[in-house]
Structure 1
Amino acid sequence: MNEVNADTCHNLSYFKDLMKEYRKIDDNIMLKLNTTDTHSKEACANFFVELADAYQKREYAIDKCLKILDAELEKKHKALEDDPFDKDLKNQMFVDESKRRMINNEFTVEDIVRERSLTVFKNKCRIFHISKEFEEFINKRR
């Protein structure tokens, strides 16, 4: 997995590209399932592991970037208390808060992508049942 760090989080183009890369499995789910033996529990389980791995990578990337940006914003808020008239700092905070909102919006995109992919998966791989723990992971933010 590409390591998510502060540079990843501050470069929204790179962050979006990373998310796009992690969503390839969802974007190609119909093609992949059409070439998978959906009557085989093992084949469905193997595909599901790939899908779940992609979900976890995306969740990790979003969470980590939010934590990084929150920590930086907290430091800037404290610095602003020392100098409330620092316009450069206020501008940096505005930019960081905008980035944070955009990254946080990825959770909404993620929910839509997961719902669509899981619906397709469940319809095609009826032989495979998703564990309760994974269902809880999927629904934890709703």
Structure 2
Amino acid sequence: MSNMSAPTGSVNCEEFAEFQELLKVMRTIDDRIVHELNTTVPTASFAGKIDASKTCKQLYESLMEAHASREKVIKNCIAQTSAVVKALQERREKDSNDLTLLKQIRKEQTKLKWMQSELNVEEVVNDRSWKVFNERCRVHFKPPKKE
């Protein structure tokens, strides 16, 4: 199976463009799932040549890991940005005349809204991937029941 793992390391939540780029890279597995399934899960005529259940199991584990790591990154950045907004708002309460602070708060709130919208995007991306996965792998692999 091709390597479609997510990058690791710390995430810079301060720069939204960097955050978006990281998510784009981390969504590679979902973007390529149809190709991955077409090249690794055999059609009925080639079923004997490849262990489709093993391939589907590996892809299932890769998807689970990718989805969990992206959700963790997004939620971590939301928490960090929320804390920044809160701190800025507390400073603003002490100095309501500081327009620079007000602009900074608005900028951070906008960034926070974008990050929160990424959770919705994530849900759509994940649903699409699981639909394709289930269409091709349901005969070969049964995912464990979620607790």
After TM superposition, the score normalised by the length of structure 1 is 0.86
State the distance in 1 between where 2:26 and 2:9 align: 10
Aligned to 1:28: 32
| 2:97 equivalent to 1:93 | no
| 2:66 equivalent to 1:84 | no
Aligned to 2:9: 2
Question: Secondary structure of 1:115's partner?
Answer: helix
Q: Which has the higher helix share?
A: 1
State, as a whole percentage, how many aligned pairs show the same letter: 31
Report deviation, 1:52. 1.1
Aligned to 1:128: 141
In structure 2, stretches of 5+ residues that fail to align are 1-7
State the distance in 1 between where 2:117 and 2:77 align: 12
Aligned residues between the structures: 131
Aligned to 2:5: none
Q: Which has the larger radius of gyration?
A: 2
State the distance in 2 between where 1:120 and 1:56 align: 18
| 2:48 equivalent to 1:41 | no
Picking from 100, 122, 126, the partner of 1:114 is 126
Of structures 1 and 2, the one with the larger relative CO (CA 8 A, separation 6+) is: 1
Report deviation, 1:3. 1.2
Question: Secondary structure of 2:13's partner?
Answer: helix
RMSD: 1.4
Report deviation, 1:53. 1.2
In structure 1, stretches of 5+ residues that fail to align are 137-142
Aligned to 1:59: 71
Q: C-alpha offsets along residues 67-98 of structure 1, whole Å, 9 cap, x if unaligned? A: 10111111111111111111111100000000
Query: AA paired with 1:132?
Result: K
State the distance in 2 between where 1:117 and 1:37 align: 15
Question: Secondary structure of 1:128's partner?
Answer: coil
Q: C-alpha offsets along residues 25-62 of structure 1, whole Å, 9 cap, x if unaligned? A: 11111110111135622211111111111101110110
Query: AA paired with 2:64?
Result: A
Q: Spell out the pairing of 1:3-18 with structure 2 (5 A cutoff).
A: 3-4=10-11, 8-18=12-22
